[in-house]
Structures are given as structure tokens and as C-alpha cells.
Amino acid sequence: MKREIDVDHSAPVIVRAGCEINAPIDRVWEIHSDVPAWPQWQKGIRVAEIDGELAPGSHITWGAWGYDRLFPAHIGLIEHQRRTVWSGADAGIYGIHAFTFTQRGDVTEVETAESWDSDPGPHAVATLQAFLQGWLDNLKATAEDTSPSA
């Protein structure tokens, strides 16, 4: 499988979301990069596994609530505390998902984008938009939580 390093900017579907997190980039990265812990903070994910280290060539398998099947993802790019890109196919759609992290003073800016090689329609695209924004909202809430268990 090809190791993708960015979303497909010519794809028929590209969905983007972003947020500012009031936490240092090392905390945000630690939460994001701990794949098996995603279901603990990511309300939309019921299971997440990785076949080794978070590194190019590794594979992530994850499942979303409301879907019986698992989604395979192939990691194409990891730039520590800066960028992750993975890709995979499901239901005939090939998707590429990227996250970018930027520290600006006491704030970490996180942007995510996902491209799909075909357009399954507005309902699916709206579902993806809500999922990506929810992912960032959950990441923000987790990273900004200063309780002792955080």
C-alpha cells in the first residue's frame, strides 16, 4: 500500500476541521499518538489498535460506534509533534486523513483534513464533518482537563 503524506487535494471530497487547545503541544501529541487509548477519550471510537509503534508502515485498526465493521488504516507519515497521515479504504472509498499540530505560545492549534476519492453523497460528507469536529472537540476537552486523572 502506498504511504500517503498528505490528503489528495484534487479529491472530490475534502473535509476540514480545526481548533485551538489551551495545552502544550507535548500533552496534545501524547493523547493523539496513544492509539489504543483513543476509545477512552474519543467518544466516537469504540476500539483502536495499532500493530506496533506509531510510525510509517504501521497499521491502525479502529471501529466507530454505530458500525459493526472495523476500519483499517495504513500510516504513511509521522512527524513528531507536528503531523500524522494515514490512509485506508472502506466501502469502495479510499480516504486519506491528516492531522497537523502547531504550537503558538500557550496554545496548540490542531487542524485535520480527510480526502475521499469518491463522493458518496451529502449525508456521508456531513457525517464525516461532524465526526472530525467531534474528534477535535474531544481531543481539546481531554488535553485541557487538569484533573488529577488527566
Phi, psi for residue 34 in degrees, rounded to 5: -90, 80
What is the model's pLDDT at position 2?
73
Domains of the chain: 13-144 (3.30.530.20)
Arithmetic mean of pLDDT, 115-129: 91
Which residues contact residue 86 at a Cβ distance below 8 angstroms, ignoring those fewer than 6 apart? 4, 60, 73, 74, 75, 76, 96, 97
pTM above 0.85, yes or no: yes
Provide Rg for the chain, Cα atoms: 15
pLDDT digits (tens, 9 = 90+) for 9-60: 999 999 999 999 999 999 999 999 999 999 999 988 999 999 999 999 999 9
